[in-house]
Amino acid sequence: MPQTDPKTLVSTQWLQDHLRDPDLRIIDASWYLPGTPRDPLAEYKAAHIPGARYVDIDDLSDHRSDLPHMAPPVEKFMSRMRTLGIGDGHQVVVYDGAGIYSAPRVWWLFRLMGKADVAVLDGGFPKWQAEARPVTDDAPVIRDRHMTVTRQNQMVKDVTQVAAATKLGDHEIIDARSRARFCGDEPEPRPGLRPGHIPGSRNLPYTALLNDNGTLKPDGELRMIFERAGIDLKKPAITTCGSGVTAAIVNLALERIGSTNHSLYDGSWAEWGMYGDLRVATGDN
């Protein structure tokens, strides 16, 4: 797969070349862990890629759940996108202020809703700014656009499905958290969660998939990283992390290398680590 592909990943040059395309829609999906001293909305208002709309993934979520930013109901997704002027026939490009961090979560949400013409900006806003590409503080002109959504239920897993997968061993469960958190050697950033990981899961920190400049590693290298982590790419994959954000980076990488049978455990460790009746493993096992 070429490094630029409008269904997965596009370069900063590709985006600049297409900025004036009438059916291009750009989303700033910046989000940071609680306690991080950054305000993504304030940063967006100060400077963003021309035409970009801001999406708050905490708002674009299911508020009926006590878990953080779970995937929203279809109706809420459609409503929020219509408010942003995003609909059928649009090519969507998502970026964030960390390079590649939270943007893949929104890419995954679009895929969950059956929308394929969506890509992550490789290197995100930091790379865009480092290359002195155009930025603005102007709000975009927004016109309503109808959106048709067909939810792809196979792309998301709940706790019952993940628990079954741990017993059957018929999926590769890939944990995108740091090795210290996976092993249980470091406390979780969210209070009240047990340390450790889902039994039978494999650790592949999302940072291993990225270059130092925040871009995604080339496809051939990604494949080798998965294989070195002991992941059988012939099996269907379930990704997980702390709360379902950085897990989507693994989904994006899997899609890039043609391993398309993947889903995301939306509750992730925020859910699994909370319930005492779910088994937890520590160390490398």
Query: Could you give the residue numbers annotated as active site?
Result: 241
In Å, the largest CA–CA distance within the chain is 53
Measured between alpha carbons, how far is residue 162 from residues 88, 104, 155, 232, 262 in Å?
Answer: 33, 21, 13, 17, 13
Contact 153, 146 (CB under 8 A): no
> Side chain identity at 77, as an amino acid letter?
F
Cβ-in-10-Å burial (0-12, 13-18, 19+) of 62 comes to middle
- Count of residues in the chain: 285
Contact 123, 95 (CB under 8 A): no
How far, in whole angstroms, is CA 220 from its chain's centroid? 21
Q: How far apart are CA 250 and CA 236, in angstroms?
A: 13
